[in-house]
Amino acid sequence: MQSNEIIKCILSRTSVRRFTQAPVSPVQIDTILHAAMSAPTGVNRQPWEYYVIQNKEILKKLAAALPYAKMVANAPVAILVCGDTSRFLDGEDSTLWVQDLSASSENILLAAHALGLGGVWTCIYPHADRMEAAREILSIPNSLVPFNLIPIGQPMTEGNPMKKYTSAKIHTI
């Protein structure tokens, strides 16, 4: 059954922090970005933009500035996911962009895994210091909010998915 391969992909994804030096191709990056922009968003606002960083010096600067993103220095590419404030909703819905970008980020990780690559979600938002560091290094305009940074590359080793499923977390009604 075709669907088994997809379920297998979702269940076997792991956070990949060590990469070989194998390059990530432009087609692979484009496929991952198509997946990123296929996530659902509140009121279809699509409040996202993406920085695709392959410049080694910039990757090293980000790794040095962001506390949990050291592995970015050794990744062939990293994607910085940003919120586009001009597309944020108003009032009580003004924080929904966080949910939208998180769904988009999961699509990035799954698409990378589907392509035989791997990545890891390194958190930027809501940490003011990390947001400021990313903004400065990449000259990000004030209209965008740095959300997370996802290094992507060929995994150094095969991942061993954590067993996280537990029936104790399920309530049947």
With contact defined as beta carbons under 8 Å apart, do 118 and 153 qualify? yes
Q: Cβ 104 to its own copies, closest distance in Å?
A: 8
CB atoms within 10 A of CB 50: 17
Measured in residues, the chain has a length of 173
106 binds its own copies (CB under 8 A): yes
Q: CA-to-CA distance for 145 and 117, rounded, in angstroms?
A: 26
Taking the least distance from each CB to its own copies, the nearer of 12 and 157 is: 12
Q: CA-to-CA distance for 84 and 170, rounded, in angstroms?
A: 35
90 binds its own copies (CB under 8 A): no
Kindly state the greatest CA–CA separation across the chain: 54
85 binds its own copies (CB under 8 A): no
Of the candidates 73, 99, 132, 135, which one interacts with its own copies according to CB under 8 A? 99
Q: Cβ 160 to its own copies, closest distance in Å?
A: 13
Q: CA-to-CA distance for 53 and 87, rounded, in angstroms?
A: 23
Strand 122-123 relative to strand 77-84: parallel, antiparallel, unpaired? unpaired
Question: What is the DSSP-derived secondary structure letter of residue 18?
Answer: -
Contact characters 114-143, its own copies, x per CB under 8 A: xxx---xx-x--xxx---------x-----
Judged by CB under 8 A, the stretch of 5-13, 17-25, 151-159 that binds its own copies is 5-13
With contact defined as beta carbons under 8 Å apart, do 9 and 81 qualify? no
Q: CA-to-CA distance for 113 and 129, rounded, in angstroms?
A: 30
3 binds its own copies (CB under 8 A): yes
54 binds its own copies (CB under 8 A): yes
Site of interaction with its own copies (CB under 8 A)? 2-3, 5-7, 9-11, 13, 15, 31, 33-35, 37-40, 42, 44, 46, 48-55, 58, 84, 92-93, 95-96, 98-100, 102-103, 105-107, 109-111, 114-116, 120-121, 123, 126-128, 138, 161-162, 164-166, 169-173
